[in-house]
Amino acid sequence: MSLLSRKRRLVATLRADRALHDPQWIDAFAEVPRHLFLRRYFVQTGYRWLAVEQGDAGWIDRIYADTVLVTQLDDDPDSWVRARREGPVIGTPTSSSSMPGIMAIMLEELRVTDADRVLEIGTGTGYNAALLCHRLGDSNVSTVDIDSTLIAKARAALAECGYHPYCLLDDGELGCPENAPYDRILGTCAVSRIPPEWLEQTRAGGLVVTTLNRPIGAGLVRITAGHGATGTGRVLARDGRFMPMRAHRLPPIPELPEDEMTEPGQPTSLSVTGLLTPPSRFEFFAGLELPEVCSLHGDGPGITWLAHPDGSWARQIDTSEGFLVWQGGPQRLWDRVEDAHARWLELGQPERSDFGITINRDLQEFWLESPESDLRWPW
């Protein structure tokens, strides 16, 4: 299949999935060659990562599919070379070319107009920066990544395609003050709180689009910048999950009990997987009510865990007679899930897009329906 047909097929997929609508972004996805940013990447095989490069079977097919392609593990610039030499390796993805579908959603949610000046946080491969350059012109695009190897490779790939945005090696949590103010900031790594510098560097009325890094109830937000480090925004109906900004990574999961459960389990009609993972409508609210709790797959089929950094845990098993729960540690985590679920039902089952955000330098909080609402959650 020709390159042109591959690009057209990717665009057709993104349109059919309702990720891409805007003619100018359609044109960008149809023109920018993703394969020049992905000469090497990883493919997951079980718990390990296999190193793939140009010329290997399936290399180009994955690139022009709506697939995230991981390019670095464990912040290690040599992770790909090691995996190529030793065979598939274990590791945590720390850079990727995101799913084109999520990229399209975020680019559209950014609502750019011609000649807008945009800062991208998280250059990664450079592919998203190339799409921005195609749409807005090189001189309107700045992009920053914290990793020197990645930024050097991205700069080279961008130049190969004829794009020359301002590429900066730095901590993107600080934005990129030298080219501020921006009309738009796009965060392509997830944040646990919106860095005040992003709002300070966006002109009043400009927009910040990014993903939230939360163990439960992550997703996309769009914030309208006010004056200084202030802003107000909404959680977006369209969902998207990204790898976290380095300094915003979540704490390690505390050890979970290994012993057999001797007490009888507590029966429940609520399922961890059904309620606390996408596409559950309750998930976002659960993240507000249980801010530091994470859910994990267990060591066997039908087993799931909840864990809190203070050592609290809940274990759920899906049996032929229904769900059974055990819980331990300082907090009764499962009881908190059931309470949160009851409260969500009482509130009329609000969805993620019913929530909004207010940000000041000292305070970031979510609210339900309107910034004046009494229903607020610190963030």
Ligand X SMILES: C[S@@+](CC[C@H](N)C(=O)[O-])C[C@H]1O[C@@H](n2cnc3c(N)ncnc32)[C@H](O)[C@@H]1O
Q: Which residue, 74, 107, 104, is CA-closest to 89?
A: 74
Residue 209: beta bridge partners? 186, 222
**Among the residue ranges 16-24, 167-175, 350-358, 363-371, the one whose residues contact ligand X (CB under 6 A):** 167-175
Is 188 an interacting residue with respect to ligand X (CB under 6 A)? Answer: yes
Question: Between β-strands 266-268 and 322-328, what pairing exists: parallel, antiparallel or unpaired?
Answer: antiparallel
Any idea what DSSP says for residue 177? G
Is 243 an interacting residue with respect to ligand X (CB under 6 A)? Answer: yes
**Among the residue ranges 46-54, 92-100, 270-278, 355-363, the one whose residues contact ligand X (CB under 6 A):** 92-100
The H-assigned helical ranges of the chain are: 3-16, 23-31, 59-63, 79-86, 100-109, 127-136, 148-160, 196-200, 272-276, 283-289, 333-346
Is 101 an interacting residue with respect to ligand X (CB under 6 A)? Answer: no
The owner of tokens 């990014």 is 210
Catalytic residue among 95, 96, 97, 98: 98
In this complex, which beta carbon is closest to ligand X, that of residue 187 or of residue 356? Answer: 187
Q: Shortest Cβ distance from residue 104 to ligand X (Å)?
A: 12
In this complex, which beta carbon is closest to ligand X, that of residue 184 or of residue 341? Answer: 184
The owner of tokens 């993972």 is 277
What would the two tokens of residue 287 be? 């993240």
Is 293 an interacting residue with respect to ligand X (CB under 6 A)? Answer: no
Is 213 an interacting residue with respect to ligand X (CB under 6 A)? Answer: no
98 annotated active-site: yes
Is 127 an interacting residue with respect to ligand X (CB under 6 A)? Answer: yes
- Cβ distance 309 to 251 under 8 Å? yes
Spatial separation of the C-alpha atoms in residues 50 and 41, rounded to whole Å: 8
In this complex, which beta carbon is closest to ligand X, that of residue 96 or of residue 327? Answer: 96
Is 246 an interacting residue with respect to ligand X (CB under 6 A)? Answer: yes
Residue from 95, 210, 295, 312 in contact with ligand X (CB under 6 A): 95
Is 189 an interacting residue with respect to ligand X (CB under 6 A)? Answer: yes
For residue 55, how many other CB atoms are within 10 A of its CB? 8
Interface with ligand X by CB under 6 A: which residues?
A: 95-98, 121-122, 124-125, 127-128, 144-147, 150, 171-173, 188-189, 242-243, 245-247
Catalytic residue numbers, as ranges? 98
